[in-house]
Amino acid sequence: MIKAAEISVRSVLSKTGLPADYVINPYVGCEHACVYCYACFMKRFSGHTEPWGTFVDVKINAADILPAKPVRYENRSIYFSSVTDAYQPLEKTYELTRKILQKLIPFQPRISIQTKSSLILRDLDLLRQFSSCEIGITIVTTDEKLRREIEPHASPIRERILALRRIHDAGVPTHVFIGPILPYLTGWKQIITSTKDCVDHYMVDRLNTGGVIWSNVRRWLRNCHPDLLSQYDRIYTSGESYWRKVSNSIREFSASEGIDSRIFF
């Protein structure tokens, strides 16, 4: 069960080195509890000792403290979210992301949102009011059994694809983030073929093995896919040859299908 706490913060709009001017993280922590989550490093800044994925701090005053000066937003881009999911289950109750979007509409910054949740459909009425808005849905697998292993509290894949279709049909640009690719498990070709009619482009990346992420992934493999453990050890310690092959395969398939795929490895 998730441990949720309401906190007040002094700022919610942060400058970022990502491809955006600002980032907004309405929550600290994430209920999705993804095995491969790179944001688990945030635990050391939060004062929490619980396992990542078991706690969430709700920035209860997030919408109230947004800067109200248009100059802060003119020709600026805002990304939701770099170290949490703005549409994790608690958002259904707190509506922090919705309230923030409502506050931003008059200023019209460029909005980019990345999520694993179909809850984003609730805010489609707001998203359509931004002149520049792009929605990304993360899909690592189309296998629902595997999804429950690696993303236990995120939306089912079918719901994510339906959300993509509805958002795309509403005229809002969409992309799918296929990442991280999990060797021998991520069927990237199947992900593309099942979504290409409702996606403007794809982003593809491999696993970030920094910090405790690699040990978390190896623990999951030992428990659920022990036959793959030695193969993962080999792939992640033997240079770039495996990833060059994957990258070339994705590029060739994308070219043959007329698909825009942006590979980050």
* Partners of 4 in beta bridges: 56
Q: What is the 3-state secondary structure (H, E, C) of 173-199?
A: CEEEEEEEECCCCCCHHHHHHHHHHHC
- Going from N- to C-terminal start, the domains of the chain cover 3-263
Give the mean model confidence (pLDDT) for residues 101-122: 98
pLDDT digits (tens, 9 = 90+) for 177-232: 999 999 999 999 999 999 999 999 999 999 999 989 999 999 999 999 999 999 99
- Assign 49 a pLDDT band (cuts: 50, 70, 90): confident
7/69 Cα distance (integer angstroms) = 24
Confidence band (pLDDT; 50, 70, 90) for 258? very high
**Looking at residues 119-144, what average pLDDT do you find?**
99
For position 107, what pLDDT does the model report?
97
Find tokens 């549409």 and name the residue.
87
Q: What is the DSSP string of 102-115?
A: HHHGGG--EEEEEE
pLDDT at 175 exceeding the cut of 90 = yes
Q: Please say if the pLDDT value at position 241 is more than 90.
A: yes
- CA neighbor of 101 nearest in space, from 117, 86, 90: 86
Q: Coil, helix or strand for 200?
A: coil
- Residue 135: its pLDDT value, please? 99
Does 44 score more than 80 pLDDT? Answer: no
Compute the mean pLDDT over every residue in the chain, rounded to the nearest whole number: 97
Which residue would you say has higher pLDDT here, 187 or 72? Answer: 187
pLDDT for res 41: 83
Q: What is the pLDDT of residue 91?
A: 99
Binned at pLDDT 50, 70 and 90, residue 145 comes out as: very high
Task: Kindly indicate the confidence band of residue 248, based on its pLDDT and cuts at 50, 70 and 90.
Answer: very high
pLDDT band (50, 70, 90) for residue 46: confident
pTM comes to 0.95
CA distance 28 to 14: 14
Looking at residue 39, its pLDDT comes to 92
Q: Residue 260 burial by CB count (10 A; 0-12/13-18/19+): exposed, middle or buried?
A: exposed
Question: Residue 38: which pLDDT band, with cuts at 50, 70 and 90?
Answer: very high
Architecture (CATH level 2) of domain 3-263:
Alpha-Beta Barrel (3.20)
